[in-house]
Amino acid sequence: MPSDLLNTLLSNLWVVFLVVLLFGGSIFVHELGHFLAARRRGAHVERFSIGFGPPIFSWRGKDGVEYRLSWFPLGGYVLLPQLADLGPVEGESQTDITRLPPISYATRMIVFVAGATFNILFAFVLACIVWVIGQPTPTGFFSTTVAEIAPTLQTAEGQDVVSPAAKAGLQSGDRITAVDGRPVTTFADIVELLALSSGWSDGARQTMLTLERGGQTLQVPIEPVLSGDERIRKIGITTVAKLLVGRVAPDSPAEKAGLQLEDQVLTVNGKRTLTYPQLADALRSNVGQPMTVTVVRTGAERVLTLQADKGVDLGIAIKSDVTYIHPNPFQQIGESIVKTLRTLGALLNPRSDIGLSHLSGPIGIIDNFVAVSRAGLPLALWFTILVNVNLAIFNLLPIPVLDGGQMLFATIGRLRGRPLPVSFIMTAQSIFIVLLFSMVLYVSVFDVRRIVRDVKADRAAEAAATPPPATPNAERSESDGPVNAGGARR
């Protein structure tokens, strides 16, 4: 017990360390970009703050800059009174700007773009690390070959309808190569493009799938439905995944049959099992009688005989195989940029089903950082890369208060030959400050709902889990779990 407690404590400390390092680091490098660019260009820097609001603690450096850590970790700022007046957010400046030299247009643009530039540079450094250590990807996400088609799918309103995949005539073995003309290489690509799609036809949502079936390329229109708590477009398919044995209980029917860790289950009684539900159904339908299980072990197929009475635990847990991919840094950054732009496009497209409620605010981002940090360093780094690309692009949007908005004001002033009126800039910024914080509050409500829902689901899963979870070295996905002779997923 003391050993378990120590391991749990160390694990939680590691997660906290990663969250502070990666999430806090993402904010820090953005503001560091502004700070270094301003100092380099000779602009006056009054304050460097991580977070907003009153300071937790602060100190004044020998360079005259006030450095502080503030209470509200929604971002950070560098107070540059010569460049922008953001008093409602950053606090009033104590500097008499009339005694400071004017700042050129080039300096304004360099300083404002430096934050996003540093986020991209930080993401690139992390992408280099991921390139070396690899990014774990479950084979179920790494495949676009259809394994199973759900006969029905539950809509967001709780109504069971014929699944779009079954209605469109998709077949097991179909390989999806594109969604709405955009190539896909993983199941995650399919899910993402379906969720972000905005096609409609005759009053119904429509997405065009490109398939390979029997050596032929087919264009199949499909009508996705809104499903799940997040109300996103789904069609009701699963893709092929390796089913590996992650645990074999001592003296269990599985051990007596000769099953071993890392065995890949291929068939039950000669019938191919491509997904966890297919395996569970196959075992359930053969309860009480001998069943032949074909597995692959060290490259060779073996046929084992497994038998257990009804209600007896088979003593195995299935894990999903994990493939480590090594995308180069440019590919990682490019994919993150594409994901971000696609999401923004869907958000602005009135025909899509993506709204503000699907976005994550600071609470959701931190919760995601905790989740991926628990999953391991590679996934935490991958998520940090995505967050930094998001921060870079979001901050460059031409919206007052953001860096892009300040660049827009400076550019308009440059084109008209004189700066925009201070009163106009302050009014625009005040309005957008209210809108921005209202949006953050709105999004945070949905973040909290997701967290509460996930906690309840985890507790329900823990209460139903029997026998205990697989050994710590067994990688698991959402479809993993122990199997008993009754075939139930626990």
Please state the three-class secondary structure of the chain as a single string.
CHHHHHHHHHHHHHHHHHHHHHHHHHHHHHHHHHHHHHHHCCCCCCEEEEEEEEEEEEEECCCCCEEEEEEEEEEEEEECCCCCCCHHHHCCCCCCHHHCCCCCHHHHHHHHHHHHHHHHHHHHHHHHHHHHHCEEEEHHHHCCEEEEECCEEECCCCCEEECHHHHHCCCCCCEEEEECCEECCCHHHHHHHHHHCCCEECCEECEEEEEEECCEEEEEEECCEEECCCCEEECCEEECCCEEEEEECCCCHHHHHCCCCCCEEEEECCEECCCHHHHHHHHHHCCCCCEEEEEEECCEEEEEEECCCCCCCCCEEEEECEEEECCCHHHHHHHHHHHHHHHHHHHHCCCCCCCHHHCCCHHHHHHHHHHHHHHCHHHHHHHHHHHHHHHHHHHCCCCCCCHHHHHHHHHHHHHHCCCCCHHHHHHHHHHHHHHHHHHHHHHHHHHHHHHHHHHHHHHHHHHHCCCCCCCCCCCCCCCCEEECCCCCEC
Distances from the Cα of 398 to the Cα of 54, 359, 403, angstroms:
28, 19, 8
Residue 451 burial by CB count (10 A; 0-12/13-18/19+): exposed, middle or buried?
Answer: middle
- Cα–Cα distance, 280 to 274 (Å, whole number): 11
pLDDT at 129: 96
Measuring CA to CA, which residue among 113, 111, 90, 118 is closest to residue 25? 118
Model's pTM, two decimal places?
0.81
Residues contacting residue 361 through CB under 8 Å, at least 6 positions apart: 440, 443, 444, 447
pLDDT at 177: 96
- Cα–Cα distance, 458 to 446 (Å, whole number): 18
Where do the structural domains in the chain lie, given as residue ranges? 2-135+381-420, 144-239, 243-320+472-483
Domains 144-239 and 243-320+472-483 share a fold: yes
225-227 and 237-239 strand pairing = unpaired
- Cα–Cα distance, 67 to 141 (Å, whole number): 45
Neighbours of 397 (CB within 10 A): 12
Measuring CA to CA, which residue among 84, 68, 64, 65 is closest to residue 76? 68
Domain 144-239 falls under CATH 3.40.50.300: no
What residues are paired with 248 via a beta bridge?
Answer: 316
Measuring CA to CA, which residue among 134, 129, 72 is closest to residue 366? 72
- Cα–Cα distance, 319 to 263 (Å, whole number): 10
Domain 243-320+472-483 is in which class? mainly beta
Measuring CA to CA, which residue among 243, 271, 257 is closest to residue 485? 257
pLDDT at 455: 86
Question: Block means of pLDDT (10 residues each) for the chain, length 490 residues?
Answer: 66 83 89 93 89 86 88 79 64 67 91 96 97 85 87 93 95 94 92 94 93 94 93 92 86 89 90 82 80 91 86 78 87 95 94 92 88 88 95 94 92 91 85 90 93 84 52 33 35
Cα–chain center distance at 58: 34
- Cα–Cα distance, 212 to 409 (Å, whole number): 51
